[in-house]
Amino acid sequence: MFKRILVPLDGSRLAESVLPVAAYLAEKLGATLLLFHAIEQAAPDTVHGDHHLSDPTEAQAYLNQLAVRVAHGPVIVEKHVHSVGQPDVAKSIIEHCVEHQIDLVVLCAHGGSGWRERIVGNIAQQVIARGTTPVLLARPIENPRDLAFYKILVPLDGTPHHEPALPIATEIARACGAALRLVNVVPTTSTLSAERAGTGALLPTTMAAVLELAQRNAVVYLQGVIQKLSSAGLPVTAEVARGEIAPAILDAARRTSADLIVIATHGRTTIGAFWSGSVTPKIVGQSAVPVLLVRVQGEESAR
């Protein structure tokens, strides 16, 4: 499934910080690592406090240098500089994903004053919202030597629309020797979405009964998934959490010492629509571990 991994780089140490994660996955999955830089039209002199690469020759030399650093063991590293100035870098990344048959894009998530500022500029937002290739967002790692995926958290909601995360999480778990932890979050009456809160206020007893039924259904659903994965030889456990979705998922990641979160997410036709009120960006912004986003095709949701 994952044979080619793309790492967009702009010359900044921040963008480079995902290289240990990308190289780790490339080695475990037997994938080729493609280091990519697109020359940007009217590029600023600096990016994230570092020199912004605007010359193709300079950019190629930079990628060559990084390739030597990350090429170890069986990892094959390729380099590509798109030398024609691009007015839309995100679009260029998406187009090169198709051209180079990319299966995963790895980008950096970084700290900021709020979850929106934790994504590197606007590029990652657009690649996620406009593209279809899975995107892994990771924060800078303090000690790359300790990097390993031992436990993978997979949030599910009991519908087929969000199960595309499962085969991807399964492949990574097999390659890394990791265990899977499934979580299904059922809201409480106090954490209902705005759309359902009105009904809950008018019919509190009925809504409480509906949520209790949802919890029972979630247990049955997860038991079925566990049986299927266990029969395939995968170590897997699950839980039904109650409360607000994003905080419950983040809490599950902390409690279970998850090393990676794999979550299915819907794209949107506009960047604002994708980020507004969505569960996924809140998880990405506050997660202490890498988050792999898998695009869902079909019915929209708030996730």
Of 236, 224, 243, the residue nearest 262 (C-alpha): 236
Distance CA 20, CA 17 (A): 7
Q: What share of the chain is helix, strand, coil (3-state, %, to 5)?
A: 45, 25, 30
Cα–Cα distance, 164 to 59 (Å, whole number): 36
- Sign of the CA dihedral running 80, 146, 252, 115: negative
Contact status, residue 264 vs residue 162, Cβ threshold 8 Å: yes
Burial class (CB in 10 A: 0-12, 13-18, 19+), 260: buried
The model's pTM is 0.87
Q: Find the mean pLDDT for residues 131-142.
A: 88
Percent of the chain clearing pLDDT 90 (strictly above): 48
**Per-residue pLDDT averaged across 23-50, rounded?**
85
In terms of Cβ atoms closer than 10 Å to its own Cβ (0-12, 13-18, 19+), residue 77 is buried
Which has the closest alpha carbon to 283: 258, 250, 257? 250
Q: Is the pLDDT of residue 253 over 70?
A: yes
Q: What is the mean pLDDT of the chain?
A: 83
**Backbone φ, ψ for residue 213 (5° rounding):** -65, -40
The answer to whether residue 299 scores a pLDDT higher than 60 is no
Both structure tokens of 89: 């870098």
60 vs 82, 115, 197, 290, CA distance in Å?
10, 33, 55, 28
Q: Which pLDDT value is given to residue 90?
A: 84
Q: State residue 76's pLDDT score.
A: 93
| Two tokens, residue 158 | 């009991």
- pLDDT at site 274: 40
Partnered with residue 76 across adjacent β-strands are: 32
Predicted local confidence at residue 302, as pLDDT: 46
Q: Which residues contact 111 (CB under 8 A, 6 or more apart)?
A: 118, 139
pLDDT at 151: 98
Q: How far apart are CA 190 and CA 197, in angstroms?
A: 8
Looking up tokens 């809201």, which residue turns up?
187
pLDDT, one tens digit per residue, over 268-287 is 544 443 444 578 878 888 89
CB atoms within 10 A of CB 19: 23
Confidence band of 112 (pLDDT split at 50, 70, 90): very low
Please report the pLDDT score of residue 201 as a whole number.
54
Q: Which of 275, 15, 280, 12 is nearest to 138 (CA)?
A: 15
Query: Are residues 91 and 98 in contact, defined by beta-carbon separation less than 8 angstroms?
Result: no
